[in-house]
Structure 1
Amino acid sequence: MTSLPYFDADEIRSALPYTTAIAAITAGLRSGVDPECDSPRLFSAAPGGEFLLMPAQGSEFSGVKALTVAPQNPARNLAKIQGVYILYSSDTLAPVAVLEGASLTAIRTPAVTLTAVSHLAAAAPGLTPQAPLVLVYGAGVQAAGHIRAARAVFPAARFAVIGRSPERVTALCAEFPKLDIADYGAMPETAVSAADIILCTTSACAPLFDGSLVRETAIVAAVGTHGRDLREVDDVLVRRSDVVVEGRASAARENGNLATALTEADWAAPTAPRNLRELVSGEVTRRTGRPALYTGVGMSWEDLICAAAVFSAAEQSTRR
């Protein structure tokens, strides 16, 4: 085997701005990607954390993301998530590239979220203002990524943030000196009641706010937690919202935000939450007087689309 091209974090960020990632995810869903056919994520114990393997297959490329999750690392000023993505030719199953995994994850998660949010806004014309107030829960890597992705979709958006650590909130706001991000840590109920879009990017184990406070016209995206025993929103919000998930099978299996509000019968019913492919295809109708809730846990097809976009951009650049 000849040496494989390796794309580091800087090269991934350069090749995959949020507008490109969102467009690639939207195009993939519209051209036949079915989240219900995605392979389950594979978890295995690792020293002080766990291994996470995420395989996916497509017509041109297939791939697997191999990550480690180390919950104690942030306290040591080390990355919580580390790993690589291996991209393969679907024709020959030969590996064609290796990509740095954490930066790929840091881009694809906000890109998927804003794909959902933008289409939920489009499903109810006039409800989301051109300059929405976007409230971000969290102050880490994903919070910063979601702010950047939201700016790509809603250029005139105003931003507020709520985080557990005042120091991290200050550092997050400093990353965006031109945005004048408001720190609403002292007035969370006021912020929730006023927000047009709420982006939850935390590792919370309990709901972040009272779901009854969310405006009827608002869009909430809860994407920070993974596992049926962890959640960012309460059953009140789930039950009063039009709910969209990445994939029904994955959400029923792993999504704690929905674990107590939806039963097995609910998932099997015709009224079960719609998935991202159905949302992007225009099959979701928002009901009057209900907020919209998108909640995701991360799926393998998303990484494959983004990794293939990075590799294809490099291939096109080489041909020029």
Structure 2
Amino acid sequence: MGAMTEKLITYTAEQVAETLTPKLCRETLEAALKSDFDPADDPARTGTNVGTGELLTMPSALGDWAGCKLATVAPNNPDKGLPLINALYCIFDRETLRPYAVLDGSVLTAVRTPAMSAVAVDYLSAKDAKRCVIFGTGLQAEHHAYAMAEVRDLEDIAIIGRSEDSSTKLAEKLAEKGLPARAGSREDIPEADIIVCCTSAKEPLFKGDLVRDGACVVAMGSHTPDARELPGCLIGRSLVAVEAKHTALAEAGDVIIPIDDGKCHKDDLVTMKQVVTGAVSRATDRPNVFKGTGMSWQDIAAAAAVVEKLR
């Protein structure tokens, strides 16, 4: 049973960060996918334009807990030196629906998103994968580097940002943490075992024929129907896994646009639950793509892991 309390508990960003390690979060999400829970039953995210950006609500229930994330996306914030995404998470005892705690939702998101990508990479990349390319230089790119290094013994992490300076800065930061990171370029793509896209790009970041068969590509930077990081030809020739079909077909431009263009069919999509439970195996004769948009069940799973560890 989820615990009840008379006083609402607040867990700070520091507490969430210290408790929700990449390993704990990845194992928590993987366990949820292996359980009786099906992401196909998860409610859709709702978004409201508030003029300066978007307010997102993401409710879900899992195990002994129910909860909801309130997140904001403010496109002008980075120019002001402020985070693009801010969030709070409220978790409730599922039986009584009494509020139990409020958690910093930004850290929760920063950890659970790459943890979900790491689950996908652990199943969809070769076990001896060594070379990784990461597009992006922001918080998600940084955390994805840590997450990838958790599941594979990487020998090379090439960072590709909008500028060589931003790529070098993130590479140096990762190198200080002991990761084999450097500033890279699109010339690194053909040799990459893992390619991770963590950008705000609206158009494809690279040509699809650069990706070799058996490689694993993660695209998680967009969650709108008109934006994509990957070219349609890559989606058309790949095994494509999504968190849930209803979410992908509503939010993921990376699959919506190729489907509309006739490059692939919605029935070709597989789910991460099928992958994790062994119903679908990684491809070796074509690329493997995981398109993630983020789902509410991931937040409640991560928040519950924090609460159960700290209470």
Q: TM-score range by the shorter chain?
A: over 0.9
Q: How far 1:129 moved relative to its partner? A: 5.3
User: CA deviation digits over 1:173-204, x for unaligned, max 9?
Assistant: 2222233412123xx1x211110100000010
Which letter maps to 1:73? N
Aligned to 2:118: 114
The answer (yes or no) to whether the contact 2:154–2:180 under 8 Å persists in 1 is no
Cα distance in 2 for partners of 1:82, 1:308 equals 19
Aligned to 2:184: 184
Cα distance in 1 for partners of 2:155, 2:12 equals 31
Structure 1 unmatched ranges of 5 or more:
122-127, 316-320
Which letter maps to 2:120? A
SS at match of 1:258: helix
User: CA deviation digits over 1:33-92, x for unaligned, max 9?
Assistant: 211111010101123101000000123101000011100000110011112000011100
Q: Does 1:160 align with 2:164?
A: no
The answer (yes or no) to whether the contact 1:4–1:97 under 8 Å persists in 2 is yes
CA RMSD of aligned residues (A): 1.6
Aligned to 2:274: 278
Q: How far 1:260 moved relative to its partner? A: 2.1
The answer (yes or no) to whether the contact 1:65–1:83 under 8 Å persists in 2 is yes
Cα distance in 1 for partners of 2:156, 2:256 equals 32
Cα distance in 2 for partners of 1:253, 1:202 equals 20
Which letter maps to 2:282? R
Q: How far 1:226 moved relative to its partner? A: 1.4
Cα distance in 1 for partners of 2:55, 2:252 equals 19
SS at match of 1:143: helix
Which letter maps to 1:252? L
Query: Alignment partner for residue 198 of structure 2, among 180, 196, 201?
Result: 201
Which letter maps to 1:266? H
Residues paired across the two proteins, number: 303
Q: Does 1:225 align with 2:222?
A: yes
Q: Does 1:75 align with 2:79?
A: yes
User: TM-score, normalised on structure 2?
Assistant: 0.93
Aligned to 1:309: 305
Query: Alignment partner for residue 232 of structure 2, among 231, 235, 238?
Result: 235
User: CA deviation digits over 1:193-216, x for unaligned, max 9?
Assistant: 110100000010000000011011
Cα distance in 2 for partners of 1:138, 1:287 equals 26
Aligned to 2:293: 297
Aligned to 1:101: 105
SS at match of 2:229: coil
The answer (yes or no) to whether the contact 1:151–1:157 under 8 Å persists in 2 is no
Aligned to 1:39: 43
Aligned to 1:139: 137
Query: Alignment partner for residue 15 of structure 2, among 11, 17, 24?
Result: 11
Cα distance, 1:256–1:3 mapped onto 2, change above 3 Å: same
Q: How far 1:151 moved relative to its partner? A: 1.1
Cα distance, 1:237–1:293 mapped onto 2, change above 3 Å: same
Which letter maps to 2:160? I
